Amino acid sequence: MLFQLLTGHLPFEGAANDVMQMQCKSKLPLKEISDKNLRKIIEKATEKKQADRYRSVSAMRVALEEAETNSRKNGAVTSQRVFTSSGEPSASSKSDIRTAVTTAVTEAPKRKGKAIIGIVAAIAVVAIAAGIFIAIDNSNKEKVRREQLMAQARADSIARVEAEKARAAEERKSWSQRLAEPDAGQDLKDLIAAAGGSGAKSAEAAYLYGGILARQSRVLPENIIARFSENNPEDLSEAHIQYENALRADSTFYKASYELGYDYAMGSGTEIDLEKAARIMKDGLIQAKAKGDKEYEQLFETAIEKIGL
């Protein structure tokens, strides 16, 4: 501001990014200031490193007063004019500071260095005080901005945790639980997509999908099967393939063993193969006993006895 008041223009001009770069890296064009004492003061006040600048407003005022004393001792009259930010004295300014600047410009040719330096000192003190106020205000705004960002980050973190909990809870549900829910349309699509995979979840998916295609109430309740019947017509051959997929995904999935053994014994969806039916039923019985499923133990034993396997 002091440079602009003395020269009538800003030290750096151009695009905002260019000006910012020059402010960080370039020195002020101080040759434009004829008074070497003022030139030294501005040079120190605008050092790039904060430690090299004046420590306080009082320190800069002392320097300006010393410059005034030196000017008086030397009997020098400064020819440096004082301008407003537009480069011309502003007669319409309501500010006391701008009035002082206008007076200094009008009377500069008549006054000694004492008057000019005194006015400049007063303006510099006001300018530095204003700068401190602006710096404090900016600091407060930055603090508020950081607090807002931290609050948003906490809210986002909580939302992610809750979403992960919901996803984990959904994954813990069995496929049969998901299909029993009112809005299970997407769950059925997910089930069909998972039916060709591996592991216990895919085995259950293939088994349930087979039950829907075979209209098999042992697999799913009839009301659930009925909900998906319109878009999934009865297909015993495809149901048989899904039971095979279930056992391929998990060889211990004995419920699929029962349906698959039943298909081979009765020729449902495939040709009759009693030997294969016997092997699958007996393996399934072993797995049911290992899991302690008394209901399926009874089913396997009854089927083996009735079919004569």
Cβ atoms 239, 219 nearer than 8 A: no
Q: Which two tokens stand for residue 274?
A: 């009693």
Amino acid making up residue 147? E
Query: Distances from the Cα of 186 to the Cαs of 181, 183, 210, 228, in angstroms?
Result: 11, 7, 17, 12
Cβ atoms 2, 123 nearer than 8 A: yes
Cβ atoms 195, 205 nearer than 8 A: yes
What is the percent of the chain where pLDDT is above 90? 22
Query: Distances from the Cα of 106 to the Cαs of 90, 96, 109, in angstroms?
Result: 11, 15, 8
For the chain, the structural domain boundaries read 2-143, 175-307
Residue with the bigger pLDDT between 275 and 109: it is: 275
- Lowest mean pLDDT, pick from 139-143, 163-167, 169-173: 169-173
Mind listing the pLDDT tens digit for each residue in 4-33? 777 878 887 888 777 777 777 787 788 788
For residue 26, what is the DSSP state?
Answer: P
Q: How many whole angstroms separate alpha carbon 290 and alpha carbon 292?
A: 6
Where residue 126 falls among pLDDT bands split at 50, 70, 90? Answer: low
Question: Helices (DSSP H) in 195-253: which residue ranges?
Answer: 200-214, 222-227, 236-249
User: What is the per-residue pLDDT for 2?
Assistant: 73
Just give the CATH number of 175-307. 1.25.40
Q: Which two tokens stand for residue 236?
A: 């015993």
Cβ atoms 4, 83 nearer than 8 A: yes
Q: Which residue has the tokens 């295609």?
A: 213
Mind listing the pLDDT tens digit for each residue in 236-259? 999 999 999 999 999 999 999 999
Question: Helices (DSSP H) in 46-112: which residue ranges?
Answer: 57-74, 96-107
Mind listing the pLDDT tens digit for each residue in 63-110? 888 877 877 666 544 444 444 445 444 444 345 445 544 444 444 444
For residue 289, what is the DSSP state?
Answer: H
